[in-house]
Amino acid sequence: MKDLEKLDFNIFLIGFMGVGKSTVSKALQRMFAMDVVEMDEIIAKRNGMSISEIFELHGEEYFRNEETAFLRESREKKNMIVSCGGGVPMRQVNVMKKSGKVVLLTANPETILEHVKHSHDRPLLENNKNVDYIAELMEKRREAYEAAADIVIATDGKSVYDICEEIITKVN
């Protein structure tokens, strides 16, 4: 297996909120000498407020512009794992394939609900934490997610380690 330390590109993890992008990126970081960047954390720090506060004060469009700006900056960097916000692939301008491999993590709506039910930092789900709403929003995003992805990995019923192994195998 090729040593991930020597990759001259980035790995972008995309997928719906609560699919496990942050968990998987942290596990990959523990396994390999790659920097991990949590896009939402960076945007929150730059703005001095939580994602929910950004949505409330500036709106979703402002937040999406922040995501796009971050992706432009990341084109100059290599050997990073970037955990992207759930809405990143919805904008065509957010093409990540030029600077890395795009890995789409998927899960069923029930799994997503289980992961997000106690979270209050997902503005688009805050008052809609139910399987039907999640399934509807996932379906609206499915085509854009699939178009953005180089690799698709279903996460349901798999350990974080198994997901990481599958990413490494498919990236190489």
Q: Tell me the whole-structure pTM to 2 decimals.
A: 0.87
Residue 98: DSSP 8-state: T
Residue appearing with tokens 């992207």 = 84
Closest by Cα among 93, 96, 91, 92 to 75 = 96
- Asked if residue 116 lies in contact with residue 16, where contact means CB atoms within 8 angstroms, the answer is no
State the distance between the two ends of the chain, measured CA to CA, in whole angstroms.
7
Contact 10, 79 (CB under 8 A): yes
Q: With 90 as the cut, is the pLDDT of residue 69 above it?
A: yes
Q: Give residue-wise pLDDT tens across range 10-25.
A: 899 999 988 999 999 9
Here the tokens at position 135 are 């399934």
